[in-house]
């Protein structure tokens, strides 16, 4: 089925001379990103890639197809003259939530897509990648709309790389055999956590968010629309913990009856843990008096000094109250993170699990990037003077700005080039299948 040739002509300049360096850099980054997605899926068998454990998760096969559908729908069908859809039915199968793009398979039923086969999905990826090469060869202009949507698609695929790992962990944790995504490398014993220390900040009026001129700027200037516009925020004096909350500290919360005392819980949180029967973070199991946790390396003993992970906003908020503290606001967190380099236990490090701090305390906050997404105390809402992008792309972030909470900092499955101080992730308060944990904060002089 041929798509209608586009009417606009500003996506490219005539193909003559050497392509712009920016364009070739984008081509190389896109190819590397697509290759990494396949590398993350490589340890899995076809059966692993087809199953779906929970409503929030998706099969790996679906992720492989959806990330190709994104490029096909928002870039190739618009900007590559004569592009032919690989299969018109794939729009229904692999659209995620874009109402403007048409009907779709309901999210909780993606695991029922036994067809198309994995082989056909892989052929789809190759078809899209060949067409992307044609688009680059046509003389893609670096600051064109097509180039900016390619950058968005690259960033979108990086998000799905993290989801592949989160979703396969959910699947393997639901399997009674407790299979491992990969074998556990040899490692030494993990000692107790360092004492928690507090770092004070004076507060004041601070600049928050991205100052990118548009939502889809190129390469290092990229920012999602929900990070804009940059604006002033008032912060009162506060202290923030120098590290993340650990497994050892969470065990103290459990042993002190934290899951059984309604005084620590929001009403909706207490209702949720009673209904779901939660007594510990997701994927924790107690066997013979020993706590174990399901990881991408299978069922493993808890590391006391490692950050606690797979907790909901409700649990994070209750723990903070039990500890005599609170969650930081997203503006407090960003103020601290702006002063630190984007470095930490991220996807490139290959640990694929939260780790104890890599450095001893040096007077500044540690573990701000990587390890676990950090719950904040903020609802996910638009910034002042926020403008929703036009068209279907406006559905990417804006329509979720209700009843969700902000997380910051990335996790052990987040690519380093994807995360920054202004990045805003968001989840419903009950959700805990992602690599989410927490850091404590408290007020000063109030």
pLDDT digits (tens, 9 = 90+) for 184-201: 888 766 788 999 999 999
Q: What percent of the chain has pLDDT over 90?
A: 86
Rg (CA), the chain: 22
Q: Is 328 helix (H, G, I), strand (E, B) or coil?
A: coil
What are the structural domain ranges in the chain? 21-174, 198-443
**372 in Cβ contact with 411 (< 8 Å):** yes
CA dist list (Å): 162 to 66, 148, 302, 443: 14, 22, 22, 33
CA 312/CA 349 separation, integer angstroms: 25
pLDDT digit string, tens, across residues 193-242: 999 999 999 999 999 999 875 444 444 579 999 999 999 999 999 999 99
Q: In this model, does residue 7 exceed pLDDT 90?
A: no
- Looking at the predicted structure, is the pLDDT value of residue 13 above 50? no
How far apart CA 115 and CA 102 sit, in angstroms, is 20
Looking at every residue in the chain, the average pLDDT score rounds to 92
Strand, helix or coil for residue 163: helix
CATH code for residues 198-443: 3.90.1580.10
Model pTM score: 0.93
């Amino acid at each position: 089925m041929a798509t209608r040739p586009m009417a606009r002509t500003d996506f490219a300049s005539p193909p003559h001379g050497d392509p712009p360096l920016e364009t070739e850099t984008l081509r190389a980054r896109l190819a590397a990103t697509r290759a990494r997605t396949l590398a993350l899926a490589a340890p899995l068998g076809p059966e692993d890639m087809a199953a779906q454990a929970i409503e929030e998760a998706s099969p790996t096969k679906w992720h492989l197809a959806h990330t190709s559908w994104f490029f096909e729908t928002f870039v190739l069908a618009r900007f590559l003259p004569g592009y032919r859809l690989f299969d018109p039915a794939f729009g229904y199968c692999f659209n995620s939530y874009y109402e403007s793009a048409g009907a779709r398979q309901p999210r909780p039923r993606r695991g029922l897509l036994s067809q198309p086969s994995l082989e056909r999905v892989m052929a789809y990826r190759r078809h899209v990648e060949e067409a992307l090469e044609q688009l680059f060869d046509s003389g893609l202009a670096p600051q064109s709309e097509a180039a900016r949507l390619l950058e968005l698609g690259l960033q979108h695929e990086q998000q799905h790389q993290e989801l592949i790992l989160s979703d396969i962990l959910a699947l393997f944790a639901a399997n009674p055999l407790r299979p491992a995504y990969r074998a556990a490398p040899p490692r030494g014993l993990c000692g107790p956590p360092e004492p928690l220390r507090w770092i004070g900040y004076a507060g004041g009026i601070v600049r928050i968010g991205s100052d990118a001129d548009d939502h889809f700027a190129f390469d290092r200037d990229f920012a999602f629309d929900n990070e804009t516009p940059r604006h002033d925020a008032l912060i009162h004096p506060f202290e923030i913990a120098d590290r993340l909350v650990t497994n050892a500290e969470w065990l103290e919360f459990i042993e002190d009856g934290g899951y059984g005392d309604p005084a620590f819980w929001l009403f909706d949180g207490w209702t949720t843990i009673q209904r779901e029967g939660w007594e510990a973070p997701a994927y924790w199991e107690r066997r013979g008096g020993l706590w174990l946790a399901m990881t991408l390396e299978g069922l493993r003993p808890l590391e006391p000094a490692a950050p606690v992970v797979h907790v909901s906003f409700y649990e994070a908020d209750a723990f903070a109250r039990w500890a005599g503290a609170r969650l930081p606001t997203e503006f407090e967190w960003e103020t601290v993170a702006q002063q630190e380099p984007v470095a930490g236990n991220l996807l490139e490090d290959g640990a694929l699990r939260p780790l104890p701090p890599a450095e001893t305390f040096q007077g500044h906050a540690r573990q701000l990037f990587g390890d676990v997404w950090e719950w904040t105390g903020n609802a996910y809402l638009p910034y002042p003077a926020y403008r929703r992008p036009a068209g279907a792309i406006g559905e990417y972030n804006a329509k979720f700005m209700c009843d969700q909470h902000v997380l910051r900092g990335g996790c052990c499955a987040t690519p380093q080039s994807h995360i920054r101080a202004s990045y805003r992730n968001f989840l419903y308060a009950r959700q805990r299948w992602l690599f989410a944990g927490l850091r404590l904060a408290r007020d000063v002089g109030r």
